[in-house]
Amino acid sequence: MIEIGFHTDAFNSSYWSFEKCLQWAQENDVHYIECGTIDGVSWLHGLGYQPHVSLTEDPYELREKMEGYGVKFSQLDAAFPVSLPEGASLGLIYILNSIRWAKLAGCSHIDTTDHMFKPDGLTDEQALEMMKGIYGKVVEVAERYEMFINIEPHGYYTTKPEFMEKMLNFVDSPYLRMNFDTGNTFIAGQDPVAFLEQFKDKVSHVHIKDVSESLAASLRGELTGIAVSNTAIGDGVNVDNIKKCFDIFVDMKYDGVVSIECEGAGGPMIEQSLAFVRGLVDDANKRIAAS
């Protein structure tokens, strides 16, 4: 069954707290949430102006609070770009700490990715070998915690199918999977439908993003990702691709969360996006049940 969630990135610009995002989820009948992890503390988070969670928080206490709102984690975002030189030090520790915290918080998926630019001084082969070492260590821990490590198309390597294929085969493990993103693949100049079709057997979490006509016209093929939709999902130039992706979800009988990534700004864009995606999900679930 396909479930709906949203990434709290939607409310970065509104300076919401994580709990305010939980309230929004409850008010809008959304039962899954995705957010970034902070490995330490920040003044924005401490003052309640950041909609993400700190790994210094008590994961059990937060889990109980979320249960009170009827919300669960679909995924935690630990997407420090592992293709950077610091990926093997800061990035690795960040991901491992997120895995341990996520287990206690009742979350079973961790999102990871690379940087938008090719690392200076490294050939593609060298960069891939470095990332292979990182993911090898990450997956070794993830298997003990039964934690799915998702690679998201968001950077120089991950938005190119030939490199994504190699990365998904870094380790022979059912816990190394992909977080498919409709918006990042599109803005990177790829065909989201073909990208999904190629890797559908590896998908365990999904980001739904549309793209405005102006952004696509000016930057498609130059960016490797966008944080959130800058137009309501359903109103952009990526909408036909999104609909076709849902046809693939039906064919593959996708059982998981599609997470909305749309500018919240306190509404109404994200509410409009939610209504559109809810229609797609309801239709897809009916077709899956009938097949």
pLDDT 10s digits, 127-178 = 999 999 999 999 999 999 999 999 999 999 999 999 999 999 999 999 999 9
- Contacts (Cβ under 8 Å, ≥6 apart) of 18: 8, 35, 50, 51, 52, 53
CB-based contact 217:189 (threshold 8 Å): no
CB-based contact 33:42 (threshold 8 Å): no
Task: Check residue 164 and give its pLDDT.
Answer: 98
Distances (CA, A) of 87 to 19, 32, 103, 192: 30, 29, 22, 27
Distances (CA, A) of 191 to 118, 160, 163: 21, 11, 15
- Please, which residues bridge with residue 34 across strands? 7, 75
The b/e string for 118-144 (b: 16+ C-beta within 10 A; e otherwise) is ebeeeeeeebbebbeebbeebbebbee
Task: Check residue 249 and give its pLDDT.
Answer: 98
7-30 tens-digit pLDDT: 999 999 999 999 999 999 999 999
| Domain regions of the chain by residue span | 2-290
Task: Check residue 266 and give its pLDDT.
Answer: 66
pTM of the model: 0.97
Indicate the fold that domain 2-290 takes in CATH.
TIM Barrel (3.20.20)
Closest CA to 196 of 154, 246, 236: 246
112: number of Cβ within 10 Å = 28
CA distance 188 to 182: 10
CA 210 remoteness from chain centre: 14
Asked if the model's pLDDT at residue 267 lies above 90, the reply is: no
